[in-house]
Chain A
C-alpha cells in the first residue's frame, strides 16, 4: 500500500495543488503576488511566464524551500508550511540547470536520491534504479561520471532523480530548456507517459511544448496570475468563435452587410498584400457556419481566398495576455 492510499486526508483532496493568495516579497519587491491556483490530480499543468515572472519562486514556495510572506495552501492534501516534509516525500522535483556532483555517476546519484525515501541497498531498490535509468534513457551512461555530460544528459538525469520515489506530483522547472529537438521530444514523451500516474506541474517558456502536452495552463506575469484555464478553453480565445476570411476585391459592401448581422460581435480588418483579411467574431457558431460565407459571396465582385475558423496558438494568447497585463499596469 502506498502512503497516499494510507492517508485518508490525502485521498480526500481532489486537487494536487491548491494555493490561496500566496505571496512572496523580497523587501518591497513582490516576486509572487496573491497567487491562487488549483491543479487537479493527474493533469499535466504548464506554468508559463516570461523570465522573472516568479515561476521558480512559486515552485520553491511549493517545496518549502522558501517561506511565503502571506497566503498558503495544500499540496497532495498536506499543508504547505506545516507539513512540508510530508509533501517532499511524495513529490519529485527537477530544478532548472541543476548541477550534480561531477565525481558521481547517474547510478550513484539515483542511489543517493533513493536512500532518502527507501530502505537502503535492497535488490528491489537496485532494480528500481535500473528501471528509472532506462526510463530516462540513461542506461548506456549509467556508470559514467557526470563530468562532461551534455545539457540534455543532465536534464534526463534531473528527471530520473525526480522519478526515483514514484512521486504523486512531479514538479519540473523548465524541463525541456536547452535541449536539442530530439531531447525535447524525449522529455515530452516521458511527460506524456507519466500522465496516468502522477500530476505534472512544470514551468516553461517553450509555448509549443506547453501546447503539445498540457491539459491546463496558467500564465504568470510579474508575480501575478493573468490566466488559468484548461488549454482548450484558453485556445478557444476570449472573443468566442472567430472566423478568418481572406478576400480579394473591394470589401466595403460585404463588410457593412456582415457587421449588421445580429450574430456578429465584431469584424477586425487587416490589409495583406493587396488582400483583405477579416477576423469575424461571432456569437452563434451554428448560424455563422451556415450564413457567413454566403453573405460574403453575395458580392460577386469579391473572391474568397481563404475561409475557416481561426485557431489560436498558445503563443498568441500568451503574448496578448502578458501585453494586456502590461498596459493595465
Chain B
C-alpha cells in the first residue's frame, strides 16, 4: 500500500478574483519560453532596431540630408522609433497570437482553471506577462542600448524626453498586445488573429498617408508623434493620440475579459 500524506499545510485565501495572479505571471515569464528563446529575441530586436541606429549614425551626414532634411541624430532617432513601430506591428501579434488560443486548444487553460483561479486572473496574467516581456526586450533594453550608441557617437539625448517617449512606446506595446489578445479570445484561429492584428496596425500606417485622422483611431504612430519630446520640437496631437491609445487599450482588455469569461473550455 502506498503511503498518503495527511499533513496540513497553510492554505492561501483563494476567494479574491486576483488570487493566483502572481503565480501565473511567474510561470509565464519564467517557464513558458526557454532562456534561449529570449536570447534569440533580444538579438533580433537589437539587430533590427539598434543596427539601423548604428548604420544611420555611421553614414555621412550629407547623405542623410539628401533623404530627409534633418540632423543626423534626429534622423537616426526617428528611424529607431520607426523601426520599433514597424517591428511591434508584426512581432507582437506573432509573439502573442497563441497565448490564449494555444492553451485553449491544448487543454492547459482548462487545467489551470480547474485550480481555484478566476478567468479574469488567468487572462490578465497572460496579458501582463506578455506586455512585460516584450517591453523588457524591445523597449527597456533597446532604449538603453540606443542611448549608449548615441553617447558613443557623441550625441547627448534629452533624457527626460527620451524616457517619456519610451513610455509612449510602452503604451503602444500594451495597445497592440491587448488588441491581439482580444482577437485571440474571439476566435480559435491563429491565422485570423495574425491577419486582423497585423492588418490593422500596418494598414493604418498606410491609410494614414491619405487620411491622417486614422492615426488617432489606430494610434500606432504614438512614439513618432512623441519624438518632439526628445528633440524639443512641437508634439501636435500627441495628447489625443495618447488618450485614444489608453481608452482603446482599456476597452480591449474589458472586451477580452467579458468574452473569455463566457468562453467554454
**Chain A 78-107 against B: per-residue CB contact (8 Å), 1 yes, 0 no?**
000000011011010101111111011000
Q: Which one, B25-33, B212-220, B232-240, is touching chain A? A: B25-33
Q: CB < 8 Å: which of B5, B14, B264 contacts A131?
A: B5
Interface residues of A (CB under 8 A from B): 1-3, 60, 63, 65-67, 85-86, 88-89, 91, 93, 95-101, 103-104, 108, 112-113, 115-120, 122, 124-125, 127-128, 131-132, 135, 166, 189-190, 192-194, 196-197
Check A3 against B4 for contact (C-beta < 8 Å). Answer: no
How many Å lie between the Cα of A65 and that of B260 in the bound state? 11
Check A122 against B116 for contact (C-beta < 8 Å). Answer: no
How many Å lie between the Cα of A166 and that of B23 in the bound state? 19
Q: CB < 8 Å: which of B14, B31, B34, B106 contacts A89?
A: B14
Check B23 against A115 for contact (C-beta < 8 Å). Answer: yes
- Range of interface residues on B (Cβ < 8 Å): 35 or more
Q: Name 9 A/B residue pairs within 8 A (Cβ), A-sorted.
A: A63-B114, A86-B116, A97-B107, A98-B107, A116-B20, A116-B115, A118-B11, A127-B7, A131-B3
| Chain B residue with Cβ nearest A88 | B116
Check B4 against A194 for contact (C-beta < 8 Å). Answer: yes
Check B110 against A60 for contact (C-beta < 8 Å). Answer: yes
Q: Which residues of A contact B111 (CB under 8 A)?
A: 93, 95, 98
B7-28 residues at the A interface, CB under 8 angstroms:
7-12, 14-15, 19-20, 23, 27
**Given A101-B32, A104-B31: A65 in contact with B8 (beta carbons within 8 A):** no
**Chain B interface, DSSP helix/strand/loop, else mixed:** loop
**Given A66-B264, A95-B107, A113-B115: A193 in contact with B31 (beta carbons within 8 A):** no
**Given A104-B31, A166-B5, A194-B4: A119 in contact with B10 (beta carbons within 8 A):** yes
How many Å lie between the Cα of A190 and that of B8 in the bound state? 20
Interface residues of B (CB under 8 A from A): 1-12, 14-15, 19-20, 23, 27, 31-34, 106-108, 110-111, 113-118, 264-265
